[in-house]
Amino acid sequence: MSIKTDVIIIGGGATGCGIARDLALRGVPHYLVEKGDFASGATGACHGLLHSGGRYVVKDSESARECISENAILRRIARKCVETTGGLFIRLPGDSKRYRDEFLASCDEIGIETEVLSPSKALDLVPGLNPALEEAISVPDCSIDPFRLCMLNAYTSRHRGGGILTHHEVVEIIQEKGQCVGIKARERLTSQIKEIRGRVIINAAGAWGDKIARLGGTSVPMSLSKGSLIVTNHRLTNMVINRLRPPSDGDIIVPNEAVCLAGTTSIPVSDPDMLEIDPAEVDIVATQAEQMVPGFGSTRLIRAYTGVRPLLMAPVQNGDGRSISRGFQIIEHGNGMFSILGGKLTTYRLMAEKTVDVVMTHFGLKAACRTAELPLEGQDELSGYPLSKRLSSMDDIVCECELVTRQSVEHAVNAMATQYVGDIQHRTRLGMGPCQGGFCTYRALGIMQELGRVSPEVSISVLKEFLQRRFKGIRPALWGDQLREEQLIESLYLGILNMGSKP
C-alpha cells in the first residue's frame, strides 16, 4: 500500500517547508518527508539571523541583494517569527578602515539602509558593547525563529491538503526505467516502512543532499562546512552585533528569545552525521564575542551546537567555507529528481519559489507564486508561549527554567500525537533553559506515558538518547556554573536513577 502524490519533498528544513507552502498555494499535491523534526539540520543549527545582507555586501553582492529583498518580505509575511532587533556592524581598534569604506559604498549601491553611529550613540543603543569601539554602522538585521518559521510554512501545506511525515528517514528512492518514481521512508522508533509514489522528487535535504541524490542514482557537488555556535543563559544585547571586518570566526552575536547566540566557526567536514564540537572552537567564539561584548567573558554558557552549511562546490576552493558563494542552484537531474542546493535561511522563500517555478514548467502548469504577498497562516495559533502567557498560570510548572506548565505540555502532546520528547521541546521551549532539560525531560516523558502516547519502555530509551544528545551539546562548554549544574544532573541520572553503564 503506497501513498500517491505529485511532488515528494525530501527535507523539513526551511527550504523544504517553504517549497511545501509554495506548492500548496499553487494547488499542487505534495508530500514532505523529514528524518527528524522540522529544522533539525542547518535550519535549526544556524544563528537565527535574518540577514540584512551586510555580511555579504563586500564580497558577494548577488547574495546581499537577495538578502535585503527577502529581509523586507519576511518582516512583512512572518511577523511572529521575526524580531526586528536591528543590527550593528562595529569597528574595534585595529579593524581596517578601508573595509569600512567598502562596506558603506557597497551597502549604498545595493540599497541596504545604513547609519553611521558614534561610539556614544552605539553604547546608548547597546550598553553592553565594548566601550573602546571606534564606530558602529546600523543595518536592518533581525532575529528570526527558524523552527517556528518551518512550522508555519508546514501549517499552510497541512491545511491545504499537503502531507507531512516527520521522523521518517528516506531509505530508498524507487526507480523505474531510469526514473525516480517514489520513496521508501522508515519511521525512526518503530522502523515501519512507508512507501510514497510521486511524479517528481525534490531533494531539499541540505547537507544530506548528496546522500539523497545518490539514492536516486545521481550526485550533487557540495562542499560541507560546519559552523559552531554558543548559547548564553540570557540576553546580553537586544540588537544583532556584527564585527565590521571580512567574515571570520566569532564575528556575530544574535539575541534570540531569552538568550544570545554567538558564532561561528567554519571547518570543512565530510559527513553531516559525524559532527563533533571541539572545545577550542568554543574558546575561539567566546573570546571573539567577548571583544565585541565584554560581558560574554563572564556569562554562563548553556551549550554549544554545530550545523553544516550545505554550500555549492566552488570551482576553486581555498578551504574556507565562507568564501564559497551563498547563492543557490537548482539542478534538474533528468530522472524526475530536482535538487535545490546552497542558499541560506534568509533566502529560503526565494529558493522555494524558484524551485517550484521549475517544477511547474516541468509539469506544464501555470500558476504564479504567492508566497511573498500572503502573510504566513497560523501565526496567532502557533505564536509560541510568550512570557506573559506563561506567567498567567504558575500552578503546575513542569520546566522551571522556561516556565512551561503541565497544561501546555499536555496540549502539545495531544495536538501532535508524538512519541518524541524533542518535538515537545521545540514547540513549548521545555528544556531550553540553563539546565537544558535535565529536570523536566523525565517529567515530560512521564506525562507522555500517562497520556498513553509513549510506552514506558520506549520512554527510557528516548530519555537515554536525549541525555546523550544533550550532553554532546553541553560538553564542549563545561566550566563555571554550567559544569556545576552538569554534575548535579549527573548525580540524578547516574546516581539516584542508576542509569550509568557498568564500569
Partner 1 sequence: MSDSLHDVVVIGGGMSGLTASIYLAGKGFKTALISRGDPVCCLSTGCIDVMAAGEGPLEAIADLPGGHPYRLVGRKGIEDALKLFKDTMAGSPVPYVGTPRRNREILTPIGTFKTTCLVPRTMEASQGCRDDYLHVISFSGIRDFYPSYITSKLPNTGFSLYDAGVSSTLAIATRFEEPGFVDDFCSWLSGIEIPPGRVALPAVLGLRKPVALMEDISGRIGRDVFEIPTLPPSIPGLRLFQALKGSFQEKGGYVFWGKAISSVEIRGNMVEAVTLAASGRPSRVQGRAFILATGSFVSGGLFATRDAVKETVFDLNVEIPGPRNDWFWNDFFTPGHPIEGSGIEVDSSFRPLGSGLENLFVCGSILARSDIMKNHCGHGLALATGLKAAKMCERMLT
Quote the CA–CA distance of 197 and 204 in Å, as a whole number: 17
- At its nearest, how many Å lie between partner 1 and the CB of residue 354? 41
Which positions ≥6 away from 429 have C-beta within 8 Å?
Answer: 257, 384, 385, 399, 402, 404
Strand order in the sheet with 163-165: 163-165, 30-33, 7-10, 200-203, 337-342, 328-332
- At its nearest, how many Å lie between partner 1 and the CB of residue 412? 17
Quote the CA–CA distance of 169 and 34 in Å, as a whole number: 6
- At its nearest, how many Å lie between partner 1 and the CB of residue 304? 12
Cell numbers given for 21: 507552502
Question: What residues pair up with 4 in beta bridges, in sequence order?
Answer: 197
Given the complex with partner 1, which of 176 and 276 has the nearer CB atom? Answer: 276
Given the complex with partner 1, which of 211 and 472 has the nearer CB atom? Answer: 472
Quote the CA–CA distance of 208 and 220 in Å, as a whole number: 10
Quote the CA–CA distance of 340 and 357 in Å, as a whole number: 12
Quote the CA–CA distance of 455 and 465 in Å, as a whole number: 15
Which positions ≥6 away from 156 have C-beta within 8 Å?
Answer: 20, 21, 24, 25, 376, 377, 378
- At its nearest, how many Å lie between partner 1 and the CB of residue 130? 19
Given the complex with partner 1, which of 96 and 487 has the nearer CB atom? Answer: 487
Nearest partner of 196 among 211, 206, 181, 207, judged by Cα: 181
Given the complex with partner 1, which of 245 and 470 has the nearer CB atom? Answer: 470
Given the complex with partner 1, which of 27 and 480 has the nearer CB atom? Answer: 480
- At its nearest, how many Å lie between partner 1 and the CB of residue 496? 6
- At its nearest, how many Å lie between partner 1 and the CB of residue 296? 12
- At its nearest, how many Å lie between partner 1 and the CB of residue 298? 10
Cell numbers given for 434: 540553563
Given the complex with partner 1, which of 202 and 413 has the nearer CB atom? Answer: 413
Assign residue 498 a region (left: φ > 0; alpha: ψ between -120 and 50; beta: otherwise).
left
HSE at residue 437, side-chain half, CA atoms within 13 A, is: 26
Count of CB atoms within 10 A of residue 247's CB?
19
The contact set with partner 1 (CB under 8 A) reads: 278-280, 283, 286, 396, 398, 406, 439, 442-443, 445-447, 449-450, 455-457, 459-460, 464, 467-468, 470-472, 475, 478-480, 483-484, 487-488, 490-501, 503
As to burial, measured by CB atoms within 10 angstroms (0-12 exposed, 13-18 middle, 19+ buried), residue 449 is middle
- At its nearest, how many Å lie between partner 1 and the CB of residue 320? 24
- At its nearest, how many Å lie between partner 1 and the CB of residue 131? 23
H helix or E strand, kind and range, residue 12: none
Quote the CA–CA distance of 266 and 119 in Å, as a whole number: 30
Given the complex with partner 1, which of 222 and 398 has the nearer CB atom? Answer: 398
Cell numbers given for 416: 501532535
Given the complex with partner 1, which of 334 and 500 has the nearer CB atom? Answer: 500
Given the complex with partner 1, which of 171 and 492 has the nearer CB atom? Answer: 492
Assign residue 417 a region (left: φ > 0; alpha: ψ between -120 and 50; beta: otherwise).
left
- At its nearest, how many Å lie between partner 1 and the CB of residue 452? 10
Given the complex with partner 1, which of 89 and 420 has the nearer CB atom? Answer: 420
Given the complex with partner 1, which of 2 and 455 has the nearer CB atom? Answer: 455
Helices (H) then strands (E): counts for the chain: 14, 24
- At its nearest, how many Å lie between partner 1 and the CB of residue 297? 9
Residue 218: asked if its preceding bond is cis (omega within 30°), the reply is no
